[in-house]
Amino acid sequence: MPGRTLGLVVMALVALAGCGPGGGGGGDDGGGMRLRTRSRGATEATCPDGSTLTYETFGREFFEAYCVRCHDSQLATVGERNGAPLGTDLDTLAGVEMHLEAVDSAAAAGPTRVNLYMPPPSSSAIPSDAERDQLGEWIACGAP
């Protein structure tokens, strides 16, 4: 059984590595700890009654501030796009709608996780956790 115990200890340490305060840790959002991660995963965000977030009131500004410097349909090469793949364009609502699942798992936040995969840490502008929460809400509401 020592091997099983060691395995459980290792799994616990790996889980805790993503949960403390600081660089890779979690923050208490009032609802408990959330995994803060540069890996990708669904946020499990929900759409609250009375949400007022729309593309016009939230989405457009979010994507212009944090995404289109690399994910713009006018950028013709991967080099111009800072490595972003061609065809992953977030400069229009139609483009965003094609990639909602990927956006959720790369940049949004929900009750159990804050996705920090995008934009990359080297970017000049990084959304706050509150903005990532709003992104998760907007997506959960159907990206109106």
Q: How high is the pLDDT of residue 12?
A: 32
Higher pLDDT, 11 or 85: 85
Dihedral in degrees, nearest 10, Cα atoms 116, 122, 126, 132: -10
pLDDT confidence of residue 4:
45
The percent of residues in the chain predicted with pLDDT above 70, rounded, is: 78
The predicted structure's pLDDT at residue 28:
38
- Segment 73-84 shows an average pLDDT of 95
Residue 117 pLDDT > 90: yes
pTM of the model: 0.77
Find all residues with CB under 8 Å of 42, minimum gap 6, and list them. 101, 104, 105, 110
Q: What SS3 state is found at 28?
A: strand
* Angle at the Cα of 41 from the Cα atoms of 78 and 111, rounded to 5 degrees: 130
d(CA 8, CA 63): 41
pLDDT for 10 equals: 31
- Residues 55 and 134: beta-carbon distance below 8 Å: no
Mean pLDDT, residues 9-21 taken together: 31
- Mean pLDDT confidence for 11-20: 32
DSSP labels for 30-80?
Answer: SSSB-EEESS---------TT----IIIIIHHHHHHHTTTTS-TT--STTT
* pLDDT(24) > 80: no
Domain boundaries, the chain: 37-140
Query: What does the alpha-carbon distance between residue 47 and residue 134 come to, in Å, rounded to a whole number?
Result: 10
DSSP-assigned states of every residue in 95-115: HHHHTHHHHHHHH-B-SSEEE
Q: What is the pLDDT of residue 32?
A: 60
Nearby residues of 88 by Cβ (< 8 Å), 6 or more positions away:
71, 99, 102
Q: At residue 138, what are phi and psi to the nearest 5 degrees?
A: -60, -45
Of residues 15 and 33, which shows the higher confidence score?
A: 33
Average pLDDT over residues 22-42: 65
